[in-house]
Amino acid sequence: MKVMFVSDIHGSLNDTIQMIEVFNKEGADKLIVLGDILYHGPRNPLPSTYNPSEVEKLLNQYSQRIISIRGNCDSEVDQMVLEFEMMQDHSHLLLDDYHFFLTHGHKF
């Protein structure tokens, strides 16, 4: 199984489009998103292509292939529009013989 790990999208549409292009080009089976999906956060400047609504629509097209956890900028409001679970602070993933501990990093 081929997986792609990403984090800190922060609602950037251009970055999300590029990420999906690489995901498809590489033929990945799963997209592992390690938090900070839609919101830029109060300490961060707005990404130049900030468009969380379009990022949500694009990611939802891949909802069956996404495994995600919560980052420090994610909230329950984000979960209302995303069609994949993303509210766990951490998770464990077993792929083939590899065991991954998934975290955004702000809690550990």
Q: How far apart, in whole angstroms, are the C-alpha atoms of residue 2 and residue 63?
A: 16
* Domain ranges (residues) in the chain: 3-103
CATH of 3-103, one of 3.30.300.30, 3.40.50.300, 3.60.21.10, 3.40.605.10: 3.60.21.10
Q: Quick one: pLDDT at residue 46?
A: 86
**Would the pLDDT of 42 be above 90?**
no
pTM of the model: 0.92
Mean pLDDT (whole number) for 77-101: 95
